[in-house]
């Protein structure tokens, strides 16, 4: 039997900045009782696993404030600007983060980055046929770019060196497509 939906009895914004909104809801459960529910809302995001050739991908490394670390590699990712098409956002992120554009962007998957308190939808692509197309990174981004054999990146995912969910999902999808 399909679970019955909850109903939002009330909702109020607790905090907002240009990237997130935090709201506090009172949700009515299927049994009529109510519960407090916090929801973080983010805009949609994109990620591109850019293949510089058939066996190598470009990754970026940057300081991640939330986790206080700077040693982990990840694929280029970022938010979709208001009114921006997903493919345009993916191409912009590639230009900003690795200085390339992709002639071909193959959709990999769309997923919810968290299913319980975070409303964020991620769209992943494989980028191929890269061409130089520099664009200045965001003012908060200080990036290092590296090119790695795909087999090494897959090993970094399987060994837990790469912990970014968007990168993990893209690499595993790509490995499956490549028969690895």
Calculate mean pLDDT across residues 50-73.
89
Mean pLDDT computed over every residue of the chain: 93
pLDDT(179) > 90: no
Of 99, 75, 88, the C-alpha closest to 168 is: 75
Q: Which of 169, 138, 140 is nearest to 74 (CA)?
A: 169
Rounded mean pLDDT, 9-14: 97
In this predicted structure, what is the pLDDT of residue 143?
A: 80
- Residue 68 confidence (pLDDT): 80
How far is Cα 163 from Cα 34, in angstroms, rounded to an integer?
36
Domains and CATH numbers, the chain: 7-42 (no CATH), 45-177 (3.90.79.10)
Answer yes or no: are the C-beta atoms of 36 and 28 closer than 8 Å: no
In the chain, DSSP finds a helix count (H) and a strand count (E) of 3, 11
- DSSP notation for 37-70: EEEEEE--EEEEEEEEETTEEEEEE--BTTTTB-
Phi, psi of 40 (to 5 degrees): -100, 125
Higher pLDDT among residues 19 and 171, named by residue: 171
Mean pLDDT of 16-43: 95
Closest alpha carbon to 58 in 169, 150, 158, 124:
150
Q: How far is Cα 100 from Cα 58, in angstroms, rounded to an integer?
A: 10
Q: Return the pLDDT at 106.
A: 96
Question: What letters, b where the CB count within 10 A reaches 16 and e where it falls short, cover 64-76?
Answer: eeeeeeeebbbbb
pLDDT in tens, 125-168: 999 999 988 766 666 667 889 999 999 999 999 999 999 999 99
Q: Measure Cα distances from 81 to 70, 97, 165 in Å.
A: 26, 16, 21
Nearest to 60 by CA among 100, 102, 19: 100
pTM for the model: 0.90
Quote the pLDDT of residue 93. 94
pLDDT digits (tens, 9 = 90+) for 69-113: 878 899 999 999 999 999 999 999 999 999 999 999 999 999 999
């Amino acid at each position: 039997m399909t679970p019955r939906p909850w109903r939002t009895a009330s909702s109020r914004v607790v905090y907002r900045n240009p990237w997130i909104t935090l709201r506090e809801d009172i949700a009515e459960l299927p049994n009529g009782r109510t519960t407090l529910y916090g929801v973080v809302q983010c805009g949609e995001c994109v990620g591109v696993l850019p293949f510089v050739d058939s066996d190598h991908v470009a990754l970026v490394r940057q300081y991640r404030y939330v986790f206080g670390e700077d040693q982990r590699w990840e694929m280029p990712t970022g938010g979709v600007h208001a009114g921006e098409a997903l493919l345009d956002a993916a191409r912009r992120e590639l230009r900003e983060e690795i200085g390339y554009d992709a002639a071909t962007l193959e959709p990999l998957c769309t997923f919810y980055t968290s299913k319980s308190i975070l409303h964020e939808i991620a769209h992943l692509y494989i980028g191929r046929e890269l061409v130089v197309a520099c664009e200045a990174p965001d003012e908060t981004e200080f990036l290092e770019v590296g090119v790695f054999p795909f087999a090494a990146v897959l090993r970094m995912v399987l060994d837990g060196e790469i912990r970014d969910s968007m990168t993990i999902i893209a690499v595993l999808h790509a490995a499956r497509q490549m028969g690895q």
